[in-house]
Each structure stands twice: as structure tokens, then as C-alpha cells.
A and B are shown apart, each in its own frame.
Chain A
Amino acid sequence: MNTTTLKKKFSFERVELLLKNRALDDLPSLLIGVGILFGVNLLSIIGTGYALFNRGNNQIWTVFLLGAGIVLSGYAFREMHDEKAGLDWVLLPATSLEKYVAALVEYVVLYPLVGALVVMGLSGLLSALELVAGGPGGRIWTPGADFGSVMSIWGNYAIFSLWFLAGSATFRRKPLLKSAGSLLVYVLVMTGFVFSILLAHRIPRSVAFGSSGYSFMWNGAGRYMAWPLSGGAVAALNIILNVLLYGIVPIFCIGFGYLRVAEKEVRDEVQ
């Protein structure tokens, strides 16, 4: 980096350096994650001849993203909150925006891309081991095989990742747990919103809450909304929920997370 770059308000060169540092910091955790995934599948192959998460579909990819990507996102700003490391983190010569963008690109974009390559390799290895163990083998996962689903999984992962990144920027202690808790609250609020609409339309209790034992039908609510709501109303409700989940929530998470990073102060002691 030179003095010209230093004067820039936003520098891709600095973001690149931050990305590199993050990747190197996360490498041990990533290797542990891959090791666990491999270990679980290896045990499954030894026991049954089949890899548990290598059935030729996107399952292995999903497990990898959710298993490690969310954890890494949830702890993305742990150094910033650390009593000692926080000062170094805040005073590292890069702007708050660059530091936040680096985290966002790392976990939302780069991690899934690099992860796809890792998972392909892992899937190939597991397939070979299946063959050796007398299993079916030949079920190597590739993102191109069902690209639409892969993109859909990535999109959903991105929302979760952004949520956990914002949580990591916000919560100083137990960010993963608190982010998960806040996500649960969001889901419950949205569920309450849907049910309040159903109740407002006087849907019979047996339909709204399921026909068997009055159990709650969180996932099935949409199906029962067909009556007495019109098809148009259901579609509108779906649009609202989708706009919230895929539009408002990510924008809110990005903005909120960035503000938490930009406003961070190292106020731990008085001397």
C-alpha cells in the first residue's frame, strides 16, 4: 500500500488485505469444520458403507454452509469486542466500512465459493471411500448439477449469514447464541403476524391450528390460509413475507451491523 492509497476514503486494496487476514485467521476453524464433516462421513461409511451427507444432492453443501459458515459469521467481530484485541482492531489503519465490507464479502460471498470447491473435493473423496467400502460411490457433488437449488441455498445462507454478522457486531458476549435467539424472536413475531391475520379473518380454530389435537401448524399455515382468504390475499401475504425476509431483513442487517462497527468504542477501563 502506498500513500496515495492511504488517502482514499475507500480502498479495495485495504479490503483485500483485510480479507486475506480474515481468511488466514479463519483457516484453522475451517479445517476443523472440514475435518469434522469428513470424520462423521467416514464413520458412516465404515458403519454402513454410505456417507451420511454425500447422497449426490445439495445436502453436503448445506451442512457445510450452515455448520461452519454461520458459526464463522457469528464470531466475525469477536476481536473487535475483545478487551485487549479490540483496541488493535479499531486502530488498524482501515476504515470501519472497509472492515465491515471485508467481513461481509468473506462470509457471504467468498466462503460459499471456496466452500463449494472444498465440498466438491470432499464429496469426491467420500465417493471413492464409499466404493472402497463396497458402497455405491460415484455420487460426487457439483454445484452445476442443480444450480438453481444451489443458488437458492446460497441466498438463504446469505440472509442467515448477514443476520449473524449483525449479531456478531452487536453482541459482545455469546454472539452466536444471542444472534440465534434474536432470529427465533423474529420467526415468532412473523409467525404471530401470520396467525393474527388468519385470526382476523375468523378462520375456524380447527383449521388455523390444525385439525388434530389443536396442535400448532407453523409450517402449514400457508396451506390453510386458502380458506376463507382469497388466493390473491395469500399471494399478497407471501409477497409481504418474502419482501421482509429477502429485502428488508438483509438491508437492515447490513446497515445495523455496519453502524455497530462504525460506532464501536474501546471503553473498557478508566485509568
Chain B
Amino acid sequence: MVQFEGLTFGYSEKLLFQDLALTLQPGTVYGLLGLNGAGKTSLLKLAAGALRAQQGSIEVFGRDPAKREAAFLADIAFVPEDPWLPAVKPAVWLDRYSVFRPSFDRGRFQVLTQEFSLESDKLLSKYSYGQRKKFALAAAFASGSRLLLLDEPTNGLDIPSKTQFRRILAEAIEPSRVIVVSTHQVRDLESIIDPAVILHQGKVLFTIASETMNSRLYAAHLPDIDVPGVVYAEKDAVGWSALVARNAAGGESLNAGPATDAADLELVFNAAIAVPERLASALNGEALVSRYDGSLSDGNKQPGYDDAFGSESRRATEVQR
């Protein structure tokens, strides 16, 4: 289990997290979502021990990451957005670096590098961005680590590789393993990340399980949003891409669109940032008190957190699985 409690952290004068609390359970692939600068990478680095909390505590499988014990470091694998690799060939890398991890599975690594079509006779430093990403992912998935921290893993991957990545990621799910995927490319991964953790203004705004999300919300394309049940909508060329509440208890519900449609994670994320109270109500199955007016989605305003909501963020609904 990975646990952040009362976490406060910032850079120079900018406070990134204040009193952040988050618990990550094994056997789960968490999707870490947030705007640019929300602190996704920093949160991953804090979990890895590459950064240190200014206040509060972090515990990863019972260890303090800040101590950077060898056993702890061998139990985590971090794939940064732009991985660095030394100027050696893959076989040399295996001999020089994988030896620090007793659980490293060389056979699995070979399989993964072959699946990713990585050249074995080329210096790693000469690899392209996508190849470096694939190599780093292969190393992480073969590491035997119980905590996998993947920062924007699909950036730089070609389309077939994204499919491969999703399959490999699914195979990597183990009862004892926590996987955290930080991403802006939610559509690449929405089929596999569960739950989604939305970071905003130094807090965990929502932790939304897929089951809850899809049982309470669905995505629909509407000609008009002046109808009941719309939580959030974005105007497009021919109408509105809307996030709609299903069967809002005691309130209005919209019968547009097939009930089998799933919620769109990108819309859910944008709703979390633009209309967090409406989204929280919908996820809790509560009635929406008003119709959505589209005021935050017409392109004239950036989706952002309303200051008026401010301290309410502490009370933001956490919908756990």
C-alpha cells in the first residue's frame, strides 16, 4: 500500500500540495490526472523518494521513500516522461544495471524488448524518444517491483505500440502491485486505469472508480444542452459532447442516448476541473440543482477551478470503489 498523509510540498515559493491525503491499494492501476503544473510528476517523484515532503508522511509498502534504502529502491520502478539511457547496448545495460534488482526477470525483459522491436545492437543513447520510452517500460515491467510509476507512458509511442502497452500493462497487474500512470492521454488508457485520481490545486479532487463513473454517468452527443441531467458539456462543430447523469435520484434525468454508453474520462476530467460540485453530486447519485448553462465550456473561459469553491475542495467527494 502507498499512503500519503498531510503531504505538503512545493518549489521555492510555490506550494504544490497542501495537506494532501491519498491511499493507493495493491492490485490496482491508478490513473493520475491533472492540469499542467498540477504536480503529477512531483507526486510520483515523492512516492519514489526522488523528492522529499516538506510536511506530512509518505509510506510505500511500510517504508519511508525519503530514506532511499536499497530494498525500497529495488521495489519501485519509475519511467519518466523522457527517459535517460546510458551509452551502452541493451546487453551491457542488463549486466551493469539490472543486477541491482534481484527480482529482475531477464526472460520477461527479452520478450518485451522483442515485442517492442528494440534493436539490440544499438547504443541506448542513440535510441529515438519512442524507443527510449519502450526500453524504459520494458525494464520497469521486468523489474519485479511492487510499485510501478509511469509518467506519461504513451507519449512517443506509435499506435501499435500503444496497443501493446495496454496489453502489457494489463498483464502487469498483480495482487501485490500498485501501478500509477500519470497521463494527459486519457483516451489511450481509459480502458485500463481504474480508478482515476484527479489532482487539482494541491489536493486530490476526486478518486473515481470506473464502475461508479459508468453507473452514474454516460457520454452523449446532444444538439442542445438545455435539458435535464447534463453535468458538463463541450461545444463541437455539430452540437455538444455532454456528460450526462444517469437516473439522478430525486432530480431530473435525461433519457437521451443509449444507457449502455460509458462515461468519457476526458469529459469527466474536464467536468471535475470546471464544475466539481455538479460532478460530485452526479457521482453521488444526488439531484443536480440546476441545468448546465455551458458557461465554462464555450471556449471563452478556460476550464479552471472557481475560487469561490476554494475551501470546499477539502470536502470534494471521493468516490471510492
Contact = CB atoms under 8 A, between A and B. Distances in A.
A3 interface: yes
Interface in A86-116: 87-88, 90-96, 98
B84 A82 contact: yes
A93 B101 contact: yes
Nearest to A99: B68
B82 A84 contact: yes
Given A98-B70, A271-B37, A271-B40, A1 B102 contact: yes
B50 A92 contact: no
A118 interface: no
B99 A1 contact: yes
Interface stretch (B41-49, B159-167, B214-222, B250-258): B41-49
A271 B68 contact: no
Contact of A265 (B50, B80, B82): B50
A96 B69 CA distance: 8
Nearest to B84: A84
B73 interface: yes
Interface stretch (A4-12, A29-37, A163-171): A4-12
Interface residues of A, number: 34
B41 A269 contact: yes
A266 interface: yes
A223 B97 CA distance: 55
Interface in A226-261: none
Interface string A1-41: 11101111101001001001100110000000000000000
B100 A92 contact: yes
A88 B84 contact: yes
A66 interface: no
Nearest to B82: A84
A219 B52 CA distance: 47
Interface string B40-69: 111001001111100000000000000011
Contact of A93 (B38, B74, B82): B74
Interface of A: 1-3, 5-9, 11, 14, 17, 20-21, 24-25, 82, 84-85, 87-88, 90-96, 98, 265-267, 269-271
Closest 5 CB pairs of A and B: A84-B84, A271-B41, A93-B74, A93-B73, A266-B50
Interface of B: 11, 14, 16, 36-42, 45, 48-52, 68-71, 73-74, 76, 78, 80-84, 86, 96-97, 99-103, 151, 182
